[in-house]
A and B are shown apart, each in its own frame.
Chain A
């Protein structure tokens, strides 16, 4: 146990409003995908809106009604990777372009948080901004080049 957990955030711009027919097949799959995440080894926490079910009502940028945010915390990079790419989540992921437009700038970032910490939307967006401005580093990185957790206090 390192005393640090891995936080992730990704944002995505939906092709039409969340309650539109275009997004229906996405919304339909959300409960199962979220449940799968919660049951996956190494899952710690995920961001939800006031509904308590998912984060589809949150808008990380005031001026963008179609930008959704997804933020969660995991025990390790491996745990998150296994859920994202080696579980039934991949079914949904491989259909991403049916529901989300492509983003020209980085839209997903990873960083380490002290175990027990719950990132806010503002904090998550700051990490994304950091990645966009400075590229990958220990404070903001991606699956392509994961950085190790900081050494625990007292070492």
Chain B
């Protein structure tokens, strides 16, 4: 009975009780796909007006759409799919949400309880298959438990470190009457995530930070997940301290990109100044990031001389790969509040001359201009992908713009060249690296923000992985813009093959591509193409102006690589710079590095 109050009302069917519970949880949108086992829910949806159902074209896309919805609103995204193949198709999306800590409730149909284990038609062991793909999952075996479990699923999905929660619903549970109870506010029996940081640890952290001579703040997706207020406080804290700040791929937007204290993204394709500041700092403050292998490079050479403070809501992230000196377990918002208060209360004077020297050093690194590239503006010139992103960014500035991406080179260029000033406007598959994420995620964002400009920065290979969702865009008149940097290659695969596998381009050429303009038209959308540099701005302007879904096929330089790059197995200070930089050394990849992917 935990989590609910005792008084209950018997509903005509489990499906109706379910919808009532969803409404009580504030759900206004479900992304789903029907099938035999969930027909009772679809029947109940048909007979009400409070919850809108968006019919996707593939269950994986339903989860990504719910992720886009969740990440752009801060609410829990809801998915509804049928048993068997419906559930297995959703698995990639669930793991994606698990890796990136996105709150999702996924409702799956199941065969009736008496048929479970019988190899029934469209039966799969969904809770077994998704046990390691979710934060938690449930199989509802008794009508009495249905509503309690649904309320609990939302609580687990959105609290602590957020994540996907799956509720498996046998068909008889959906058909039989079930009691409805309002969500209560009793704490969960066993699940009690810690959100308030330990004041002693905060004090210890501030003592280190006050005396820092070469500090850096490294903030990740945990700050975004803690809500927009946490991003405001991060900005306040960084300005208060005068420290440089870098963001992870997941953290972009947590700190305003235009701010002079921002060093850009760090990691494998991060800026020279961000990575060298991480390498050479004496005190590092990690807020809501998890020392991912794409961030640290070679672990035994990662920031060798620094004291490390790690604030994370998940205790399992602390001392997982990098041993830290001060561990703070708590929500990023509560942690930032406490840090700001403790900073103000601690009267220790900062070493201003050391800080000035540190900034002078950072300015020298910045002067490298590690993101420099050359775009030939003569008519007929080929478009550089970096230039395409910069022009897109310029054309969208001043608008409410949300950006999603697929996975690969275009994703890294988007992270490097598109500037995010606010949280919740950047959705990318960071942990799992799921090609095909961007289009359905953009769909989810557009559903939540009908009047905003939503752009999926895509590659021609990734976007084909969920291209069927063009149908969904058409059906619901969602004017998502798919901005394809088309280089006829799985660009990141090709780049690695060039740098690490002797330019043997094994299976990375995008053979037999569709004509994206015609493809768009066949899905009732607008297709545009930019072949030369002089076409680019016109195509971008038209793409933004059209009030319909658009595919903009931007033909870019096929051989362009993403730089800077820290090869796998290398340290932050062994970064490769682009061809613009004469000091570009040989790729220092060891055999051990090659195995790191």
Do A and B interact with each other, yes or no? Answer: no
Residues of B within 8 A of A (CB): none
The chain A residues found within 8 Å of chain B, CB to CB, are none
